[in-house]
Chain A
Amino acid sequence: MMADTAYEVIIGLEVHVQLQTQSKLFCRCSTRFGAPPNTQTCPVCIGLPGALPVMNEEAFRLALLTAVALECEIPSFTKWDRKNYYYPDLPKGYQISQFDLPMSCHGGLEISDAKGAFPDRRVRILRAHLEEDAGKSMHDEVAGKADSRIDLNRTGTPLLEIVTEPDMRSPQEAKGFLTELKLLLTYLGVSDCNMQEGSLRVDANVNLHVSTPGGVVATPIVEIKNMNSFRAVERALAYEAERQYQVWLETGRKKGDVPKQTRGWDDQAQVTRGQRHKEESSDYRYFPDPDLVPVRVTPAQIEEARQRLGELPAALRSRLQSDYGIDAYSADVLVNQGRLLVQYFEAVAQSTGDGKRASNWMQQDVMRSLNERSMVIGDFPVSAPALAELLSAVQRDEIDNTRAKDVFARMIDDRCSASDAMAALGIAKVDEAQTVELCREILRANPKAVADLKEGKQKAVGALIGQAKQRNANINPGRIKEIFLDLARSEQI
């Protein structure tokens, strides 16, 4: 095994995102997922003679919004091309896509990792273009027949293909990019990004730059397909990098020595396997689609898209840090949960004036409760004002943090306010004079502890606090510690 520094991994990604429209890209069939096979097709999407495609206005609007968010250049003129190939899930014999004049190009997305798993980086976007999806082929294993079954419901669904430059240098970075891209798309509301339903699909191009005594050598580029989760992407890339290194050691083959290879990720076996040779791009015989007219985009439309973006994740992270004094990691955790949870957090933080406490409660208590109940923040039984009321009670020392967690649990179960939950639990603010008297009693009964405290052995106070809590669960351990220490020091027992 060579040292890790023997090679550098070079990764570029191609991401297909399904845009959240009601109808397809060039016809008005529904895009709904999960309908019975072949019930959402029409002459346009199954390629019957004489049918005429017409561009979906909303699909273009969503694509433009995404392209602007990815800081792409938006050319004033874009057109549609036919990409010709034969495959059973492609009924027309061509896919309507964009070849030489895509609707956007040359953008970028900043990625960083709050825990420092990779350096901050701007991943450049080569292009983002619109195209239609193909159908789905299923092999009929049950019947044991040699047929494949074809469902064309998905045919013609709008996709935005986002292609990055080969700017990522580790599988972790690739996963980081995908996570950030998904978050951005979710904030924009342009896609549900559901990988299980195929709304987000990832292919990766990867090769190595191997350091040799004679200089840096590039290994042949391999395209990896069939990765069904971000974790699968990370693992497939890690596997593929090591595989390419071994092949390079054995064969010394460089980029250009062999045609570009396509490999599929086998998630069960955790390996990549060779697939058919990729046809040269000229084999697709692209040409402008005569059925569709071009699209012209004006600077005013681009500006309008920019206005609609709203606050995007990167800007939101830094604002939460500066507005509420929380650290980068906390801001990242909150923002990754989506816009609604951030709004909830901001309402609590503003109402209590304590961003750090609100952030801790969000991360520890609210998010854990949501996870346990497989719930989203919009359905959470404790409203932001109710949580703020509870945290304000903690701030005013009416209850301690541990007791507040009991109250919080009660608020979830009973769907009630903080004050009602506190009343239900019999929590009342303990009178200061009562507390001092209780402390005196306990100290009188524990002369050894008093002696220890006088000698400065503060550890002794722990057991005393425990006894006090047993006598009255509502007392505040922080306050009571102060009282114990004061009394012991002043010998007013």
Chain B
Amino acid sequence: MPLSSAEVEKVALLSRLLLGEEELRRMTAQLGDVVEYVRQLDELDTTAVEPMAHAAELSNVFAPDEVQPSLDRELALANAPKRDDECYRVPAVLGD
């Protein structure tokens, strides 16, 4: 197994996903397959290859600092599961 179920559990927690026992087993296997697939890249010798930060060979794409209209608030809030006239509403944020 390339991934342990503990590792998958941790990633699930960070992604705020609750997995049942059966789901955890299935995900551990499936995610493991993905990792195993990508791991094939390890077979390549990349010592002479310069690391790249982006797939496109572009850099310095900028926009001028000019304000443009924002979304209408009604539109912005339209998909919110819970809202009031001005804000999104979410279960209470505790602590900071």
Contacts and interface: CB of A to CB of B under 8 A. Distances in A.
B61 A276 contact: no
B90 A150 contact: yes
Contacts of B87: 37-38, 138, 149-151
If over half of B's interface residues share one DSSP class (helix, strand or loop), that class is named, otherwise mixed; here it is loop
A286 to B, nearest CB: 12
Interface residues of B, number: 35
Contacts of A151: 86-87
B91 interface: yes
Interface in B29-66: 53-56, 58-66
Contacts of A40: 70
Contact of B76 (A38, A58, A59, A283): A38
Contacts of B76: 38, 41, 46, 152
- A interface, size bucket: 35 or more
Nearest to A41: B76
A56 B63 CA distance: 5
A226 B96 contact: yes
Nearest to A39: B73
Nearest to A60: B62
B82 A28 contact: no
Interface in B1-51: 14-16
B68 A293 contact: no
A460 interface: no
Contact of B89 (A29, A43, A101, A147): A147
A275 B96 contact: yes
Nearest to A138: B87
A185 to B, nearest CB: 18
Interface string A458-471: 00000000000000
B63 A55 contact: yes
B90 A288 contact: no
Given A86-B16, A149-B89, 18 more contacts: A21-B65, A29-B67, A38-B77, A42-B70, A43-B71, A55-B61, A139-B92, A147-B82, A147-B90, A147-B91, A147-B92, A148-B89, A150-B87, A150-B88, A150-B89, A151-B87, A283-B14, A294-B53
